[in-house]
A and B are shown apart, each in its own frame.
Chain A
Amino acid sequence: MTAPLLRLDDLRASVSDGHGERKQVLHGVNLTVAAGEMHVLMGPNGSGKSSLAALLAGREGCEADGGAAQMDGEDILALAPEERAARGLFLAFQYPVEIAGLSLTVFLREIYNRRREREGEAALDPMSFMRVLREEMAALSMDPALTRRAVNAGFSGGEKKRLEVLQMALLRPRLALMDETDSGLDVDALRIVSDAINRHRDGGRGFLLITHYSRLLAGLDPAPDYIHIFDGGRIVRSGGADLARRLEEHGYGALSEVA
């Protein structure tokens, strides 16, 4: 029996508020994502969804207090963020970071070539990489002029989200955590992003999407395998695709009691 792609057991975690106080944000999360599956987390603001993503990606200040998180059977909590990325974990940030002075092209080439080298392929020279980049950007209807800017510098909300998807396309992660990648997108962009996710799906990859809206889910094909309602730092209910629709009709209040 092979270990699942991601397995969370009674995961508890707290964040530091920067003033020496800690606040518990995850209260026992249980979740298994097998290769090929797509899971969706929906839940009220402040329920801890981004904290879960941050913990899995390795953000400093967000620490496990108990339980376990394993990727392919390996404890990932002990790994540095870059080591998790090297194992195929990717987080599309809810709030992508602006990095003044760092050329977007240089940054993307760096992460792309690192991925290639990890996978035993030769790094691409700048010219060849530009061709790859132009193609991937065209698929996301991104303005090629963005490559001349610094990472996220002056990007609109939608441009930032597309850049996260572009990085996913370049890094080809085995496990993609996508934190509200659909928020702030116009209808066209929404379709572009769901198409990109569809292209990326195959039997070897897993997804954990965090979203507030069923709009994104409508464009996903095949449909997500599981919808989980997240509240108070844990999963309170799980179901199929119809759970998202019921949620939009009835709200979290009616569905949040632990089933």
Chain B
Amino acid sequence: MARITELLSLSESAPREAREMVLPSASLEGWRWSGLRRALPATPFAATDGSTGTVTAPKLSNVFSSMTETVLVDGHLAGDNNGGDVDGRRHINSDSDGDGNGRRHIKGDNNGGAVRRHINTVMDNNGGDVDGHRHVKGDSDGDGGGSRHINILRDDKSETFETVARNGEETPFPALARTLATHPLQITVKGEIKTPHSIRLVGTSANTAAHHSLNTELEKNASLHCVITSEAANNAARLVNSDCRFHLREGARLRLLILENEAAQCFRTSRIHFTLAANARAETFLITRGGAFQRLEIETDLADNGAEFHIGGAHALSPERQGEIALRVRHLAGDTLSRNRFRAAVGANATHNFQGRIEIIPGADNAAAEMESKSLLMDESAKSRSKPELEIFHDNVACSHGVAVSPADADVLFYLRSRGIPLADAERLTVSAFLRQIFPAEHNDEFTESAKSRVESFAGMVTETETVKGQSS
């Protein structure tokens, strides 16, 4: 009870406190965040009522030939996914088996009055009938939102919020996301879901803040392909803040693709937390363009034997942009494996930070971890800082890490140009070749290919100067 009160009061005071907080400088020292306070505009971002948004020409849609979609516009659960305007009819179409009759449980929220709704999606694979296992629950009465939302936090067994906050290591943003999310999403996955599920976070309104909270549970041996895209429909300044959790129970499989195509003026804060039980396996590709300020915190707990975590992260930072990754992988049991591979291509006056920490606790026999962060500077004014940290408290482990920062290879550019490829295209090819190193060589399935094609489309932007409009003064 005390905790609920605490959180409720946090939801009221947190935005103000976040603003007033004395934050550390851009220094990478300590396990802390950097630079945001400096970067934040003087005018605060306000939440929207969800009535203004229109999804036009979504850039990142249709990632897969077939997929189910959940769309949030400016933090509000939106209607259909085909560019229509956002009206009162909201639904999640969770066609989990691809059999065509999967349009089910369209339970709208027509009153639009509630500030918070708890969207609960259960996916399973046992046929097409609409039963109790498969539903999207909108909060249609508008009065229960607050308490349901709190339930998400209270139900969370990992207690990450408390633990991390107590250590003084978590930024206020994940807590804000959970507290202020207009439509927190809860997804439970049973069995094998073949059709990828897409969650699109679209921003349309200038000077607004959108908070997102996603809690995904994969039950024992469940499997899910998931794409989370975060994109701007225009180039306006806004704050997009999200907290995503993935809890994989024994033997569960997750393939996750995170694509971020935010505007140059965007402030993007994001925390992704993975908890993996025995023999669970998560494979993630993260492809992002950064923003005016972007910080991605990735925290992974390999909680039991045989858990495996693979992540490939690519930053394609256009001129003037900023992008930052804070990674922490904890090997809490033996025979756990993590491969963490990051690449950043950094344009003129852009800044990239990488802070990665691998922890292997005593007794985690045969744990294996690899961490790599390489940056390609496409201009003399581009900056990249990488800081790997290893905390290994056990002998019988295999652990490697490497960081490298280098300018674009003049010999490579000359070679390409001598074949008739103009400089801009030669740079694009160079960037794309570099960023594609995040993909394991043997992978060429649809999931990986669609991720690769995003790398291609972002690669050309690293050396392109952006025209910035809709800037807040």
Contact = CB atoms under 8 A, between A and B. Distances in A.
A114 interface: yes
A134 interface: no
A81 B417 contact: yes
Interface in B409-443: 409-412, 414-423, 425-426, 429-430, 432-437
A99 B415 contact: yes
A56 B436 CA distance: 33
B421 A111 contact: yes
B415 A86 contact: no
A86 B414 contact: no
A97 B420 contact: no
Given A81-B414, A97-B412, A101-B437, A107 B420 contact: no
Contacts of B420: 82, 85-86, 111, 114-115, 118, 171
Interface string A50-65: 0000000111110000
Contacts of B415: 93, 96-97, 99
Interface in A66-116: 80-82, 84-86, 90-91, 93, 96-97, 99-102, 107, 110-111, 114-115
A31 to B, nearest CB: 20
A200 B435 CA distance: 37
B414 A102 contact: no
A81 B433 contact: no
A107 B429 contact: yes
A58 B433 contact: no
Given A80-B423, A102-B433, A150-B433, A97 B411 contact: yes
Given A60-B410, A97-B411, A99-B412, A85 B419 contact: yes
Contacts of B414: 57-60, 81, 97
Given A60-B410, A82-B423, A101 B433 contact: yes
Interface in B5-36: none
A81 B409 CA distance: 16
A167 interface: yes
Contacts of B425: 110
Contacts of A97: 409, 411-412, 414-415
B288 to A, nearest CB: 18
A91 B417 contact: no
Contact of A101 (B410, B416, B418, B432): B432
B433 A85 contact: no
B49 to A, nearest CB: 46
Given A99-B433, A100-B433, A102-B429, A85 B418 contact: yes
Interface residues of A, number: 29
A81 B437 contact: no
A58 B436 CA distance: 28
Interface string A106-143: 01001100110010000000000000000000000000
B421 A114 contact: yes
B421 A82 contact: yes
Interface residues of B, number: 24
Nearest to A95: B411
Contacts of A150: 433
Nearest to A89: B418
A86 B412 CA distance: 18
Contacts of A81: 414, 417-418
B87 to A, nearest CB: 42
Nearest to A118: B420
A97 B412 CA distance: 6
A111 B419 contact: yes
Contact of A58 (B411, B417, B437): B417
B419 A80 contact: no
A112 to B, nearest CB: 10
Contacts of A114: 420-421
Interface in A131-168: 150, 167
A90 B419 CA distance: 7
Nearest to A91: B418
Contacts of A96: 415
A93 to B, nearest CB: 7
A59 B413 CA distance: 10
A171 B418 CA distance: 11
B434 A101 contact: yes
A197 to B, nearest CB: 18
A91 B417 CA distance: 11
A100 B434 CA distance: 7
Given A60-B410, A97-B411, A171 B433 contact: no
Q: Which of A84, A97, A167 has the largest number of chain B CB atoms within 10 A?
A: A97
Contacts of B411: 97
B410 A82 contact: no
A60 B425 CA distance: 17
A75 B411 CA distance: 24
In the A-B complex, the 9 residue pairs with the closest CB atoms: A101-B433, A85-B420, A102-B433, A81-B417, A97-B415, A111-B419, A101-B436, A82-B417, A82-B422
26 contacts: A57-B418, A58-B414, A58-B417, A60-B414, A61-B410, A81-B414, A81-B418, A82-B422, A82-B423, A85-B417, A93-B418, A96-B415, A97-B409, A97-B414, A99-B415, A100-B433, A101-B436, A101-B437, A102-B430, A102-B433, A107-B416, A110-B421, A111-B420, A118-B420, A167-B419, A171-B419
Given A97-B414, A101-B434, A102-B433, 10 more contacts: A58-B414, A81-B417, A85-B418, A93-B415, A97-B415, A99-B429, A101-B435, A102-B430, A102-B432, A110-B429
